[in-house]
Amino acid sequence: MSIEQNIQSLRKKLTKDVTVIAVSKTRTIEEMQVAYDCGFRDFGESKVQELTAKMESFHKDVRWHFIGHLQRNKVKYIAGKVFLIHSLDSIKLLKEIERQYEKINTTANVLIEINIGREESKSGILLEELDDIIKEVANCKFVQVQGLMTVLPKGDENSNREYFRQVKAIFDKLDSLKPKNVTMKYLSMGMTGDFIEAIEEGSNMIRIGEGIFGKRIYKNQL
């Protein structure tokens, strides 16, 4: 199917008002333009170099989401340029984001990435580390936590739903506790293969790549 057809099909499956991020990593500007023409303004990238290159040549009204693992030495290149950083996964990274955003006197909006499946191959904090990072966020002047993000381990619908429910429960708990500098606005969970279950379990932000652009092609990476 064409990108336009994929988007039509996707929109028919959306049962609630959710933010759909078009995951445009490895995609060409031409492909992204099709999604833009279909109304998309939220685009997600996972490599700093690719993100900054596309920013230069794409529309200025786009809200850029950084959804990949963010290295501390790369924070300075996206400071003040992205709408939302989805991948806060350590206190060290938090302190570097605070440092870089203080330099430009701007607030960083971030999501805490939860490694709900406790996978060694994935980034994100473990549940037992959450309290410590929330305490550190309270000391920040230039970082606002806006919600949570998670990437699930491979599994079936039942295991997916269980993980989604666990993250939603954490989201709801933080929402009721209202820690300093923490607002539970965005629950970023669900991708092409599991977004329907994610939305049903409470997600309000989904990250869709193949479901919009088709199978990913790696050879044309920036």
Q: Dump the DSSP string for 37-92.
A: HTT--EEEES-HHHHHHHHHHS-TT-EEEE-S---GGGHHHHTTT-SEEEEE--HH
Position 222 confidence tier, pLDDT thresholds 50, 70, 90 = very low
pLDDT digits (tens, 9 = 90+) for 48-89: 999 999 999 999 999 999 999 999 999 999 999 999 999 999
Position 31 confidence tier, pLDDT thresholds 50, 70, 90 = very high
133's tokens: 């990072």
SS3 at position 207:
strand
pLDDT digits (tens, 9 = 90+) for 2-29: 999 999 999 999 988 899 999 999 999 9
Q: What is the mean pLDDT of the chain?
A: 95
Domains of the chain: 3-213 (3.20.20.10)
Count Cβ atoms within 10 A of the Cβ of residue 171 and give its class: 0-12 exposed, 13-18 middle, 19 or more buried. Answer: buried
Q: How many CA atoms lie within 13 A of 194 on its CB side?
A: 22
> Could you give the CA distance from residue 23 to residue 154 in angstroms, rounded to a whole number?
19
> Could you give the CA distance from residue 10 to residue 7 in angstroms, rounded to a whole number?
5
For the beta carbon of residue 69, count every other beta carbon within 10 angstroms: 15
- pLDDT over threshold 90, residue 209: yes
pTM for this predicted structure: 0.94
Q: Residue written as tokens 């092409």?
A: 192
- pLDDT over threshold 70, residue 95: yes
206's tokens: 């989904």
